[in-house]
Every structure is written in C-alpha cells, then in structure tokens.
Amino acid sequence: MHTVLVIGAGKIGGLIACLLAKSGDYAVHLADLDIDVPLQLGKDLDLSHFTPCSLDVNDRGALLHYLTLHAPVAVISSLPYYCNLAVARAAQEVGVHYFDLTEDVGVTDQIKILSHGGSTAFVPQCGLAPGFISIVAHELMTHFESLDTVKMRVGALPVHPSNALKYSLTWSTDGLINEYGNICYGIEEGEKVPLQPLEGYETIEVDGLLYEAFNTSGGLGTLADTYVGKVRTLNYKTLRYPGHCEKIHLLMKDLKLNEDRETLKRILERAVPRTLQDVVLIYVAVTGQQQGGLFEETYVKKVYPQTIAGRLWSAIQVTTASALCAVVDLVLQQPEAYKGFITEESFPLQGFLENRFGIYYR
C-alpha cells in the first residue's frame, strides 16, 4: 500500500483523496488549513486508510516534519498555483515524488529547474488542461509522418447556463483568472511564440451546438517546448458558450480588472453561481501528412457529472481528479522509469485509459 499526502481538501483535492483511498491500494493523508474539512469528508464518504490532518504549506518546518514523520512516497498538491512551489521544494528536500494541477507557466518553469537531477518524479500540470489534453494531442500527433496544425480545445461549461456570462464557477476562481489574464504560448510557423489571452477568437460546432474558443494561458502544458520545430501551428483555446469572451474582455481589459484581480475575484464569486450540473468538452484536431496526403484526425469527448462513493461530483471534478490519480498510479507502478521533470505527453494514451482511474475518460 502506497502512503500519499494530498494537500488541499477543496473541490478537487477531496475527490483525489476519495478515489485513491477507495482503491484499496493507497493510505491517504489529506491535509488542509482547517482540519474539520478533511475530517468531515472522511466521515461523509466512509473512507478507510484515511488520515485527516492540518497543515500550512507556508510553515516550511511543519511541512518538512510531517513528510519526514509519515514518510509518504508522494505528495500531491491540489492547492492554488501560488502555493505549489513551497510544496515542491519540500518534496525535493525530503526525496518524494511530487504532483500538482497547476496551470501557471511560471510555477511549472520553476519546478522544472528544481527537479533537475532528482531521483524522484516531479509531475506538474496533471489535470485536464493542462494534463490529459496533452496526452491526447501527443498520441494523435504520432500518427502522422509530418505535422501541420494541432488544435487543442477544452471547456468546462454549465449544462443549463442562466446568466449573462453563460458560465458557472466550476473550479478555482484564482486559476480561472490566471488563465484569462496571463500570457499564452503556442507555435506559429514552427516557432514558439507568446499569444495574448482572450484573443484568437473562433467558433466551433460540436454535436450541433455552437461554441466560441479563445486563447487562455497554461492549457498547452509543455507541448510547445516538446514540439517546437516539428509542427507548423499548435495552440490551446478554452471553449465557452458564445458571448462569454466579449463580457470577460470588458471586465479584464476595458475595466482593467486584470490589474486588480482581488476585486475581479470578489465580483465573480459574488455574482456567478456554482453548479454540479456541468459538462466537460474535450476537442483535439490534428492535420498533417499521412501516406502522401493531407489528413485530419480528431478526438472529441464529453464528460458529465458522476456519482462516486455515494456523492455527486461535477464533470470538472471528475476529469481533473481522475487524470491526476491515473498519472500518480502510473508513476508509482514503475517509479524507476520516472525521475526528474516529467511532462504529461510522456504518458501513453492507451496506458492512461486502461488505468483504473482513467476509466472516467472512456
């Protein structure tokens, strides 16, 4: 049985702990600033091999002491992106595997530097996007003799939109604002280039429904570095219902709330409802040369809320948590094969989907 420490008992961390503990192969320590949160989760879901605890990742001494005392094989951060570096540093110092869900490019770059020469795996960006979307895109790209264009599109949307933004807060507000406000990256004419968030507007139709797509930061993961010089065009865009981008542009650009993110966060959390009735839409299209002709291959998947351990979890919770758990499982099954900085595209799609946690994507 593997002992793991999950830090952050919020919407995603709670399901990560649930999935791992319910598998029977993991002893899960779930940490939060407020110990009542993991305590209640353990009672509500009747989790065995489960230890709730209180930890503040900003207290470096306490974090190192806990890791040394309980000796987990891995630490999993489901905290906001700005907390992850402290956890990664502790994991590196103690010598345990590290996983997170960050969409932040700067944090990922620092973790890459930190992991250099390490004997354990450092695997950031383990969720849906970044995360699973890179595994899918990489798999499709291997089917071509030469690559032309790669489009990666993901949206977590309310099934029944009822407000002007046509959106519900399905995950971290900090992460959402970070994606909408930070510089994006892609490949154009074979070169890695910066792209402006909320730009690159396009529409796409899936199953008869119209969506809009626009640049957001972080969802590309490390693919731009992996495929620079190997593909003409590669980009990642977020999917929303038509009209959303224009209103977010008003808030963040015209009203300059990208420069006052705390105010924007308060506005969104006060006015935009949360929901468990969501749908995750995953769309990847790759064009290139196959057998002397120009071909296109696509991957399209919709995931809806699911009941796990007697509780209904939203689609974004299910896709994000299960993706991380699958990657953790794959690494810990062959720890000798994973050392240092590990990209998401290092994991084969078939192996991911055959994993016991990858079943939620089938």
Query: What are the tokens at 337?
Result: 């094969």
Q: How far is it, in rounded angstroms, from Cα 46 to Cα 209?
A: 40
Give pLDDT tens digits for 246-282: 999 999 999 999 999 999 999 999 999 999 999 999 9
Residue 351 confidence (pLDDT) above 90: yes
Give pLDDT tens digits for 166-198: 999 887 899 899 999 999 999 999 999 999 999
Q: How far is it, in rounded angstroms, from Cα 185 to Cα 199?
A: 12
Q: Give residue 77's Cα distance to chain centre.
A: 11
Specify the DSSP class assigned to residue 273: P
pTM over 0.85: yes
| Confidence band, pLDDT 50/70/90 cuts, at residue 82 | very high
End-to-end Cα, the chain, rounded Å: 26
Give pLDDT tens digits for 120-172: 999 999 999 999 999 999 999 999 999 999 999 999 999 999 999 999 988 78
| Confidence band, pLDDT 50/70/90 cuts, at residue 118 | confident
Residue 227: exposed, middle, or buried by beta-carbon count in 10 A (0-12, 13-18, 19+)?
A: buried
Residue 190 has a pLDDT of 96
Give pLDDT tens digits for 208-218: 999 999 999 99
CB atoms within 10 A of CB 194: 9
Q: How far is it, in rounded angstroms, from Cα 215 to Cα 218?
A: 10
Strand pairing report for 74-77 and 191-195 = unpaired
For residues 76 and 30, is the Cβ–Cβ distance under 8 A?
no
Q: Give residue 51's Cα distance to chain centre.
A: 25
Give the domains, in start order, of the chain with CATH numbers: 2-124 (3.40.50.720), 132-306 (3.30.360.10)
Residue 170 has a pLDDT of 81
Q: How far is it, in rounded angstroms, from Cα 122 to Cα 61?
A: 21
Residue 362 confidence (pLDDT) above 90: no
